[in-house]
Amino acid sequence: MKGLESLGREVARQQDEALAEARAVAQASAALEWPAERSLRWPLLAVAAVLVCVVAALLVVPRPIAVETAGVAVASWVSAEAEAPVTFSDGATLLVRAGSRFQVEKLHEHGAEVRLERGAVSVSIPHRDDTRWTLAIGPYTVKVVGTRFDTGWEPSSQTFSLVMHDGAVRVVSPDGTTTQYVAGQTVTVSLSPPVAPDEVDALAEPPPTRAPGPPRAAPASWKSLAQRGQYGDALAAARRAGWAKLGATLPADDLALLGDVGRLGGDVKAARDAYGRTRARFPRSAAADTATFFLGRLAFDERDAAGATKWFERYEAEFPNGPFGAEALGRRVELTKDAVLARRYLERYPTGPHSRLAKAVLGGD
């Protein structure tokens, strides 16, 4: 006999007795009544009129979008000690990498202006006709109208990087020339000659800016290349160093970074391998938290709905208070259009980046 099932049967039996004694069904039957619909008509009309006025006012007076992430304020520099998402009320998300320094300079009704002084950021901005986002990445300016891409600036090597996933952006170089980049393109531009890793670490101040030059490969360790945002070169360097050996010996955070190198360097298989090892070797760690989310992201980007759902569900189960909780649940809503998930999302993140989608799933509730 199974304990819980036996207990459940006994509880049901006792409850049926109690309900019968209380004549609960008869009471419920006597209490059944339909609401008076007519009496609701005028109050509802009054509420509707007020709502129309409010909506009209909102339409007439444009309001800037808002930052939804605690601790990030307009015109304040933020140094990210760990990788963290910054979300905005228009649905945009900036996933700021550890060690980055950035500032939200200005918010307006169609987007924002963000400056990245150093580090790297994964950008996801929903496309609308009037979207207008500008990211100042070091001396480069990236103009966005709705896209997903990774970008970064490493002052010590004067290196700008851009990996396009979706859509298109226009990049204004320091010399004023504008170039459009589209999905699938990867750009790495160094404004200074390559330097040895030791020299990079010893640089207290960035070197003087030079004229833009062609992409270069710096002879450095995979990690320092990754930290500069040179993921393609970092991937090649990691392979030369022995991918399997790195996977078996690196500490947690470096192993997750190796996964990032695979992902941003364009080798999905390598990324999965490193993230999988992170989870296996350091379960329940912050690095495993990141790895789990990005395993979902990899599947999501490959349009593998079942795989993505599995990983995002696992993320929610294993890291209920993790930093990517909103993003993981939001992407599950995106994948499944499930009303229960949409409701849960709105309860937890009422103004989150997927809140509009969740409301749409619930039929505008």
Partner 1 sequence: MVTAKVVQLPVSDEAALVAAARAGERVAFEKLFRRELPSVVRLLGRLVGHDADLPDLANEVMVLGWKALRRHHEALRFGAFVSGVCVNVARNHLRARRRRRWLVFGEPDADLEAPAREAPREALQATFAVLKTLDDELRLAFALRFIDGRELTEVAELLGVSLATAKRRLREAEDEFVARARQHPALEGWLASARWGGAS
Q: Which residues bind partner 1 (CB under 8 A)?
A: 1-19, 21-22, 24-25, 27-35, 313, 317, 338-340
CB of 303 to partner 1, least distance (A): 19
CA-to-CA distance for 38 and 2, rounded, in angstroms?
54
Question: CB-wise, 113 or 313, nearer to partner 1?
Answer: 313
CB of 339 to partner 1, least distance (A): 6
Question: CB-wise, 44 or 182, nearer to partner 1?
Answer: 44
CB of 20 to partner 1, least distance (A): 10
> Which residue(s) pair with 187 in the sheet?
162
Is residue 72 within 8 A of residue 92, CB to CB? The reply is no
CB of 84 to partner 1, least distance (A): 26
CB of 324 to partner 1, least distance (A): 19
CA-to-CA distance for 6 and 29, rounded, in angstroms?
31
Nearest to 297 by CA among 104, 115, 81, 93: 93
Tokens found for residue 320: 């209920």
CA-to-CA distance for 122 and 296, rounded, in angstroms?
15
Question: CB-wise, 127 or 337, nearer to partner 1?
Answer: 337
Question: CB-wise, 148 or 331, nearer to partner 1?
Answer: 331
Tokens found for residue 107: 């918010």
Question: CB-wise, 7 or 52, nearer to partner 1?
Answer: 7
320 exposure class (CB count in 10 Å sphere: 0-12, 13-18, 19+): exposed
Question: CB-wise, 31 or 59, nearer to partner 1?
Answer: 31
On the CB side of 257, how many CA atoms lie within 13 Å of its CA? Answer: 25
Instruction: Kindly give, in sequence order, each residue whose CB lies less than 8 Å from that of residue 254, ignoring residues fewer than 6 positions away.
Output: 223
Tokens found for residue 42: 């005028």
CB of 269 to partner 1, least distance (A): 26
CB of 257 to partner 1, least distance (A): 30
Nearest to 125 by CA among 105, 141, 148: 148
First to last CA, the chain: 46
Question: CB-wise, 22 or 183, nearer to partner 1?
Answer: 22
